[in-house]
Structure 1
Amino acid sequence: MALHDEITTRKNQLAKIRECGIHPYPEKYPKDKAMADILSLKEGEQISTAGRITSIRTMGKITFCHISDISGKIQIVIQEDTIGKDVYKQFHDIYSIGDFIGASGELFTTKSGELSIKATSTTFLGKALLPLPEKWAGLKDTETKYRQRYLDLIANPESKKLFLFRSNVIKAVREFYWRNGFQEVETPTLLHVATGAVANPYKTHHTALNQDLFLRISHELPLKELIVGGFEKIFEIGKAFRNEGIDPSHLPEHTHLEHYSAYWNFEDNIAFTEKMFSYLFETLGIAQTLVMDSGVEVQLKQPWPRYNFVELIKEKTGIDVLAYEAADTLRSDIKKKNISFDGIDQMSLAGLMDNLYKKIVRPTLINPTFLTTYPEILQPLARRNDENQNVVDQFQLVINGWEVVKAYSELVDPIDQQQRFAQQSEHKEQGEIEVMEGDDEYITSMKHGMPPISGLGMGLDRLVALLSGNSNLRDVVLFPLLRKK
């Protein structure tokens, strides 16, 4: 049937529903159990359930239809002898695939061995005026899956399974923090200063205050202010926004986890990270070998190796990034190695170091790997190493070429922090783009005194993608941002 004809048929059915005195969109229905729960029951039990019709098959005076919810599907058997001739005819006059139905009846097993509900009554619960994609053969167009995720969820059971898995991942993360004595807190999304990371922010204007504000690019500074206030172990899960490019591992908004613990250093955070991942693997039933959709295999067995960031770059490129004080010199030596990346001629010293690592080193790190000992210039918020003031006590966890975790011993010296913010400001005045904004209010909080602190940040979209074997973040986000049609 052509789409126009099918829409006309459904509109006519809607009119018929109203003529019969039936409300096409009723207020509620007493649904006892989800489909998955029903399938674990035995024959003879009385059931009342509801869901979307996904198939209808009629054989004379008996009709078989499957209905589904987020947990699964079950078959309803509707017989003319059971519900009456008039009601049976009415069913065929008003129902189509995609409509919502409530059904009550007794569980039984059909001759083909399928547990089903023998309906004694049905209730119309919602009319679909548009047909479902490809008559439930599946929705394959990638852009449509992203733009109309609801159709993807209806048509593709694997998508339902994936997003239920995402929910369980975030639930397990929260449970792990609660079990380890952390308090969950919330900090502002709208800020006067976009800082805590090096990223281009979204800017907006508050009409009542007549002030420009920014969507946060990080949770970091407000969380550390809470440590000043007396909290000792805190975490937050929330959105962070970065007005930058979109690719398989970057989205303009992402679900971000950060935690901070007083009296820890980065070594404590490494141990905590391994402990957290072990908990997630066990709780979620993750195998020791992940097979990505690209075919790449990731071995998850712990303990995970540790490499020195500076030494690894030197091993892969022959360049000791700590030996450079000027961007032009490093840029020249990078080009001599026939290495290039976008924007190389405009990059600062820190930008060159970072992109050299991202271009040459990071793609080679497939199995979980901790990188430590970062140049101080790369992280203005991290504590310098006591033995080498040119590096900071930071680590990243890299899996399948993605940065999954970034953590460090926090800089808690307000004078040092103020100087580093001032250096960033000078770099900005010199035309550098990749700099971190300072925050005077944060400096004021630091001056009231901070204990030793270590914090951690992790993109939960990336975590879900990796644990589910996906290589594109848009596949694990319900409504990824797309260009408007």
Structure 2
Amino acid sequence: MNGCNNEEVQRRKKLSFIKKNGFNFPNDFKPNINSIEIKNTYKSYSNNKLKVLKLFFSVAGRILKKRVMGKSSFFILKDCEGEIQLYVSQKNIVDKFYEDMIKILDLGDIIGAEGNLFRTQTGELSINCKKLKLLTKSLKPLPDKFHGLYNKEVRYRKRYLDLISNKSLSSVFKTRSDVIINIRKFMLKHKFLEVETPMIQNVPGGATARPFVTYHNSLNLNLYLRISPELYLKRLIIGGFERIFEINKNFRNEGISTRHNPEFTMMEVYMAYSDYKDMMMLTESLLKKIVFSVLGSLRFVYGEYELDFEKSFHKLTMKQAILNFNSNIKLSDLENLKCVLEIVNSLGIQVEKNWGIGKLILEIFNKTVEKKLIQPTFITDYPIEVSPLSRRNNVCSDVADRFELFISGFELANGFSELNDSDDQKSRFLEQTSNQFSKSEDNSIFYDKDYITALEYGLPPTSGMGIGVDRLIMILTNQKSIRDVILFPILKPI
């Protein structure tokens, strides 16, 4: 039997012993303060002042460290906010025998402690315990004697251990919560109504992606986890709401990477009587507000770059961006199908036979430009061919009134003036579905007849935008993988 298993055996013996003596996982201990509140409130108090005040506190948490020195011991207790030191002396414990308690307690156990606040000789704020109570016995030892989890795969699979072991991880997810709170505050301040739309849909739409398929027994019907809430949100605009948003999950049955997880969080917003330029301004204002609220500055480091949110975001058309980053390409090349095909082939891009010049230009952009857009940059004038839900530009019908926002080399937001011509939308849907190579049940484009019917009742001029919340949190917490900002990312079973 290896050491780890033997330790678990010993812990189970301890649990069996204390159960026979009345232990029943008590739930009657109530902490009245946490470690950060103690440290922030009393950081400047001297030990003499603490003695005069005789501050008596109840704290609870998990034992991270234990140091036994004869008839006295020190513990490091971890609660939801941080750590606090406990001093336990045999002469001070009034309701349990000191030796028995010390023998029972292991690293990882959850305990409650009551006592006076004081400073040790080294100046550390600590609790001089008068009472110590075991609340939950940990049957498995903490990883690597609490030196932490280093294997990324194990960290993702056992996030609970990662949270115990990795002191900085909690701050990432507190920032995540802070970001979502600030998104809501901003949207509500600007008179947007928060709504919820179906997660399970009869017809998935609003994006080009392969959906997850499920089945409803009573209805004898295939249903789909949504790939986007877009078409339902626009139904609400048709119904009379003029400013709405939703923060929720989307699901796409596709690959996993550092920037893609099959389940991810999006915020989508729709605003009647506005266009994509209005939505660009709203998006920039939203992001600047969130960055400052969360970080306290509009300049911060992500990876090897310092990002600057103080300046107005850059704006480039897609063709301008390609020309800026490809000195060997001329504007006339991007207006000639033969030249575009030659460029695509020289870049080693595999071409599908139904791709038009618009899709080919997008592929050139993706290959040569996207990763170079470090500072916040709006890319506009997307080809209409790859923008099936966007309004056509009044001047050039080959491009859409659409933008995408890129930061640190990847897309963060996508928005456009919504297509509200029901006949045009119908023809684009039908063209998309007819152009699909696969005619199997894995088709990623679906024709939503009811949405067309809704459009026929009239969608007011509207702009919309979707922002990847997980990717935004990656940037604000300086994380390179989306898995590091999702508590429980999708993983292959082992």
Q: Which TM class, normalised by the smaller chain length? A: over 0.9
1:442 aligned partner:
451
> Does structure 1 residue 124 correspond to structure 2 residue 125?
no
Equivalent of 1:110, from 120, 127, 136?
A: 120
Aligned to 2:426: 418
| Matching residue of 2:306 | 297
Alpha carbons of structure 1 residues 161 and 18: separation in structure 2 relative to 1, 3 Å: same
Q: Cα deviations across residues 56-110 of structure 1 (Å, max 9, x unaligned)?
A: 1111211110111221011111111111495211211211000000111111111
* Cα 1:132–1:22 shift into 2, 3 Å: same
**SS of corresponding position for 2:380:** strand
Which residue does the alignment assign to 1:40?
Answer: 40
- Paired position in structure 2 for 1:323: 335
Give 1:344's aligned amino acid: V
Q: How many residues align?
A: 478
1:429 positional shift: 6.1
Give the gaps of 5 or more residues in structure 2: 43-49
The one-character-per-residue Cα deviations of 1:436-482 (angstroms, maximum 9, x if unpaired) are: 43211111111111211111101100000011111211111111111
Given that 1:290 and 1:469 are in contact with CA atoms closer than 8 Å, whether structure 2 keeps it comes out as no
Alignment CA distance shift 1:225-1:377 (3 Å):
same
| Cα distance in 2, alignment partners of residues 330 and 126 from structure 1 | 70
Work out the CA distance in 2 between the residues paired with 1:301 and 1:88. Answer: 59
What's the counterpart of residue 6 of structure 1? 7
1:91 aligned residue (86, 101, 106): 101
Tell me if structure 1 keeps the 8 A contact 2:383–2:399.
yes
1:28 Cα offset (Å): 4.0
SS in 1 for 2:369: helix
Q: Which residue of 2 aligns with 1:465?
A: 474
Deviations, residues 408-431 of structure 1 (Å, cap 9, x unaligned)? 111111111111112112212687
Cα distance in 1, alignment partners of residues 32 and 374 from structure 2: 46
Q: Which residue of 2 aligns with 1:348?
A: 355
1:62–1:78 CA contact under 8 A, matched in 2: yes
1:286 deviates by: 4.7
- Does the C-alpha gap of structure 1 residues 414 and 48 become closer, same or farther in structure 2, counting only changes over 3 Å? same
Q: For 1:48 and 1:277, locate their aligned partners in 2 and report how far apart those are by CA, in whole Å.
A: 41
**What secondary structure is seen at the aligned counterpart in 1 of 2:429?**
helix
1:313–1:319 Cα contact (<8 Å) kept: no
Q: Structure 1 residues 187, 131: closer, same or farther in 2, change over 3 A? A: same
Distance (whole Å) between structure 2 residues aligned to residue 330 and residue 428 of structure 1: 25
Cα deviation for residue 162 of structure 1 reads: 1.0
Letter in 1 for 2:397: Q
Does residue 221 of structure 2 align to residue 211 of structure 1? yes
Q: Residue 363 of structure 1 corresponds to which residue in structure 2?
A: 371
Question: How many Å separate the matches in 2 of 1:447 and 1:440?
Answer: 11
What is the 5 A alignment of 1:246-265? 246-265=256-275
Partner of 2:341: 332
Q: Secondary structure at the match of 2:415?
A: strand
1:232 aligned residue: 242
Report deviation, 1:264: 1.2
Whether the 8 Å CA contact 2:334–2:361 is kept in 1: the answer is no
Q: What CA distance in whole angstroms lies between the structure 1 residues aligned with 2:256 and 2:488?
A: 14
Cα deviation, 1:341-380, whole Å, max 9, x if unaligned, reads 3x43566235433322111110111111011111111111
Task: State the secondary structure of the residue aligned to 2:446.
Answer: coil
Which residue number corresponds to residue 144 of structure 1? 154
Deviations 1:252-274 (A, max 9, x none): 11011101011111111111111
- The yes-or-no answer on 1:180 pairing with 2:190 is yes
Q: In 1, Cα distance between the equivalents of 2:57 and 2:95?
A: 23
Q: Contact 2:211 / 2:444 at 8 angstroms: preserved in 1?
A: no
Does the 8 A contact of 1:427 with 1:435 survive in 2? no
RMSD: 2.1
Distance 2:75 2:252 in 1: 47
Moved more, 380-389 or 30-39: 30-39
Give the corresponding residue for 1:53: 63
Q: Deviation string for 1:106-134 (max 9, x for gaps)? A: 11111111111111112211011100011
Q: Is the 8 A contact 1:97 1:132 kept in 2?
A: yes
The answer to which of 299-308 and 254-263 deviates more is 299-308
Which residue does the alignment assign to 1:29?
A: 29
TM-score by length of 2: 0.92
Which residue of structure 2 lines up, in the alignment, with residue 400 of structure 1? 408
Structure 2 contact 362–383 (Cα < 8 Å) conserved: no
CA distance in 1, matches of 2:227, 2:162: 30
Secondary structure of the structure 2 residue equivalent to 1:239: strand
Give the SS at the match of 1:82: coil
Are residues 1:16 and 2:17 paired? yes
Residues 481, 269 of structure 1: CA spacing in aligned structure 2 closer, same or farther, 3 A cutoff? same
SS at match of 1:307: strand
Code of the aligned partner of 1:332: L
CA shift for structure 1 position 41: 3.4
Q: CA deviation at 1:193?
A: 1.2
Instruction: Quote the residue 1:484 is aligned against.
Output: 493
- Counterpart for residue 46 of structure 2: none
Quote the Cα distance in structure 2 between the aligned partners of 1:315 and 1:41. Answer: 55
SS, match of residue 474 in structure 2: helix
Structure 1 residues not aligned, in runs of 5+? none
Is 1:351–1:434's contact at 8 Å kept on the other side of the alignment?
A: no
Instruction: Tell me how far apart the structure 2 counterparts of residues 447 and 335 of structure 1 sit (CA, whole Å).
Output: 39
SS at match of 1:475: helix
1:330–1:352: 8 Å Cα contact kept in structure 2? no
Q: Give the whole-Å Cα distance in 1 for the aligned partners of 2:432 and 2:393.
A: 20
Query: Residues 231 and 135 of structure 1: is their aligned pair in 2 closer, same or farther, counting only changes over 3 Å?
Result: same
User: Which stretch has the larger CA shift, 178-187 or 310-319?
Assistant: 310-319
CA contact (8 A) 1:77 1:119 kept: yes
CA distance in 1, matches of 2:91, 2:366: 70
Tell me if 1:281 matches 2:288: no
- Distance 1:222-1:28 versus aligned 2 partners, 3 A rule: farther
User: 1:190 maps to which residue?
Assistant: 200
1:126-151: per-residue Cα shift (whole Å, max 9, x none)?
01110001112121111111111111
> If the length of structure 1 is used for normalisation, what is the TM-score?
0.93
Cα distance between partner residues in 1 of 2:341 and 2:154: 46
Q: What are the superposed Cα offsets for residues 242-294 of structure 1, whole Å, 9 maximum, x if unpaired?
A: 1111111111110111010111111111111111112112211254443234x
